[in-house]
Amino acid sequence: MPFIDILIFAVIAIFLIFRLRSILGTKDGFEKPQKTMQTEPMKDNVINFKTKSSDTVHDALNGSGLKDLRKLDTSFKDEEFLNGAKAAFPLILNSFSEGDLGNLRRYVGFDLYEEFATAIHQRDEAGEKLKINIEKVNDIQLLDAEISDGIASVTVKFDTIQTRILTDSKDVEIGDDSFSSEQIEDIWIFERDIKSKDPNWKLVETGTTEID
The full set of domain ranges for the chain reads 64-210
Q: What is the pLDDT of residue 209?
A: 76
- Please report the DSSP string for 174-212 in residue order: -GGG-EEEEEEEEEEEEEEETTSS----EEEEEEEEE--
Question: Which CATH code for domain 64-210?
Answer: 3.10.450.240
Q: What is the pLDDT of residue 142?
A: 98
Handedness of CA 123, 92, 144, 73 (dihedral sign): positive
Q: What is the pLDDT of residue 208?
A: 86
Burial 33-61 (b: 16+ CB within 10 A, else e): eeeeeeeeeeeeeeeeeeeeeeeeeeeeb
With a cut of 70, which residues of the chain have pLDDT below it?
A: 1-59, 210-212
Q: What is the pLDDT of residue 50?
A: 34
- List, in sequence order, every residue forming a beta bridge with 186; answer none if it has no partner: 158, 208
Q: In what order do the strands lie in the sheet with 202-210?
A: 63-64, 129-148, 151-167, 179-193, 202-210
**Radius of gyration, alpha carbons of the chain:** 42
DSSP-assigned letter for residue 150: T
Q: What is the pLDDT of residue 13?
A: 53
Query: What CA–CA distance (Å, rounded) separates 171 from 126?
Result: 12
3-state SS class at 36: coil
Q: What is the pTM (predicted TM-score) of this model?
A: 0.71
